[in-house]
Amino acid sequence: MKNKNCDCGDCSCSKRSNLLVGKKGEADWLKRAPARAMMRAVGFKTEDFKKPLVAVACPYTNITPCNAHIQDLGEIALSEIEKQNGKGIIFGTPVVTDGESMGMEGMKYSLVSRDLIADCIEMMTEAYVTDASFTLAGCDKTIPGALMPIFRNNLIGITLYGGSILPGRSKNKDLNIVSVFEAVGKISSGKINEKEFDEIEKKACPGCVACGGMYTANTMAAAIEAMGMSLPGSAAHPAVDYKNNISQEKKQDIIDSVKALFNLIKNNIHSRDIVTKKSFENAIAVVMALGGSTNAVLHLLALAHEAGIDLKIDDFNKIAKKVPLVGNFSPFGKYMMTHLNQIGGIPMVMKMLLDANLIHGDCLTVTGKTVAENLRSAPKRPKNQDVIFNLEKPLAPPEQHIIILRGNLSPEGCVIKLSGKELKKFEGPAKVFECEEDALDAILDDRINKGDVIVIRYEGPKGGPGMREMLSPSSALIGKGLGNDVALITDGRFSGGTHGIMIGHISPEAAVGGPIAVVKNNDLIFINLNKKTIDLKINQKEIKKRLNNLKVEKLKYNRGVLAKYAKLVSSASLGAITS
């Protein structure tokens, strides 16, 4: 690691990991002999103690396609670190995949896992005082979880997305995991038969890696590339082929990422030297342009907090005023991330935005170059395709994607994803449910009518706890043909695969006495997108009376991971942070 006050050649004097292994010729060399002895038992040699020690974080499990290949990527990274004269230490983290845990108690652990992953990586990088971090990610919570500790402790580090799944196919139509969720609503309303349903289930996910549409994983991968914390182009590269073999593009991503990491080590460039408020504005702009997930609000706020950057929920509206929707991606559009890769990936989109002065070109990135320098060789938007629309004739104008709303129902703010819909106002009677499962039953049992506003509460960060995603009820509404006629609001959140009139992150949440806790069946709820408001249409005196009479329920868990999380977690309007 380079030390500007030293000209000793290998610069081992400045290695942080000297605290672990000592430095030959100095007093700590003798003191650290027990640590070195144990490390020798697992293959370390004397010459390795001079090398930079690199943490390789692998959130791996074989139960989900999103992360089933991550260990393989980690082993490739270890080999490349050795080629750069470094020494890697590999370790795992927990993984909770939303698509599998959705709609059940296990989903409460999903958002919790983001912070647990961050804590696990911090524990390893700080306990073993590593000199740099190479973090891999697959399913959506692993992406912010892999970057949060790098920002938290201002580490030298880089993160690499494991890639998105190739589309499934049935009847000449692309399929993905959301196809299955929506099929649940379709079969219950008689729109498809059991054979068709079975084929969708079996063909939707053809192999490893994360969900293929512009859901949360691809949204966050794109955002982190735009932020400058992963290599240009890497977010859209496929990880495997249809035989589940690691792709050459992803192997090259690892090779190039490790080289970039060692350049950061050599030049002593830490993560907070790279990331700034403008970097986050770039990330938000790309999310808005692509039609990304509302979870980006939650995760970018959390990442900014870890980086010590003053990003507020209202900053999303400031960017939304300028950036149109140009990405035509599932769940609302036709295409998958693999189609974006075929026409130039995230660099092509960023070049469009840079040329229109919609992102900042002077931000430093992990390449050691600025955004503008990285984009000089990026391709221009190809003509005669509708994956990415042009800025002059976009899929939708500015302020028709992610919007932050406030009002007497959500004083701290909440999030709606319009996905280009020209919705201006919606008013309807509340149908109140105390949990996700009850709301789903009502939808499937045809107890929800056009014009209703479904309210699902006590699903927030503390109340759930864990702020479950409402993909099951929202997909059931789409499958029932009610996506444009029923609104769903919640203090929980939504999957990136959600579309329809869905408002999440309502803050303060019900569990801390937020106004959503006092909504009654048939109360009128008014959503005004022109004014960016969401209000309960009863007078303020009645709302105050109900709040005064409200008995806030005790937290649902008194021990274990969920109990700890519920005690620590902040409001969704702050990113549901715990540190």
The sign one gets for the Cα dihedral 471, 117, 149, 257 is negative
Per-residue pLDDT tens over the stretch 16-37: 999 999 999 998 999 999 999 9
- Beta strands 402-407 and 410-417 are antiparallel
Rounded Cα–Cα distance for residues 495 and 179 (Å): 13
Q: How high is the pLDDT of residue 311? A: 98
Contact 406, 507 (CB under 8 A): no
CA distances from 462 to 46, 159, 510 (A): 50, 29, 9
Angle of helix 436-444 versus helix 471-479 axis, rounded to 10: 10
The sign one gets for the Cα dihedral 494, 498, 502, 503 is positive
Tokens linked to 138: 């697959």
Rounded Cα–Cα distance for residues 35 and 49 (Å): 11
Contact 55, 125 (CB under 8 A): yes
CA distances from 222 to 154, 282, 310 (A): 22, 10, 21
Mean pLDDT by 10 residues, the chain (579 residues): 42 78 93 98 97 97 93 98 98 93 91 98 98 95 97 98 87 84 86 93 88 91 98 95 91 98 97 98 98 96 98 98 96 92 98 98 98 98 97 96 97 94 93 96 95 97 96 88 94 85 97 98 97 96 96 90 97 97
Per-residue pLDDT tens over the stretch 485-495: 999 999 999 98
> Which residue is catalytic, options 12, 164, 495, 507?
495
CA–chain centroid gap for 305, Å, is: 15
In the sheet with 157-161, reading across from the earlier edge strand, the strands are 87-92, 53-58, 132-137, 157-161
Residues 6+ apart with CB under 8 A from 24: 49
CA distances from 455 to 382, 414, 497, 516, 522 (A): 43, 14, 19, 8, 11
Residue 91 one-letter amino acid: F
Cis check: omega of the bond before 347, within 30 degrees of 0: no
The sign one gets for the Cα dihedral 211, 214, 219, 225 is positive
Q: Max CA-CA distance within the chain?
A: 78
DSSP code string of 391-414:
SSS-SB-TTSSEEEEEETTEEEEE
CA distances from 221 to 58, 233, 517 (A): 16, 10, 35
Q: How high is the pLDDT of residue 2? A: 45
Q: How high is the pLDDT of residue 243? A: 87
Radius of gyration (C-alpha) of the chain in whole angstroms? 24
Q: How high is the pLDDT of residue 4? A: 45
Q: How high is the pLDDT of residue 499? A: 78
Q: Does the active-site annotation cover 189? A: no
Length of the chain: 579
Q: How high is the pLDDT of residue 161? A: 97
Q: How far apart are the two ends of the chain, measured CA to CA in Å?
A: 29
**What is the CB-side half-sphere exposure of residue 445 using CA atoms within 13 A?**
7
Q: How high is the pLDDT of residue 5? A: 40
Backbone φ, ψ for residue 269 (5° rounding): -95, 115
With H, G, I as helix, E, B as strand and everything else as coil, classify residue 127: helix
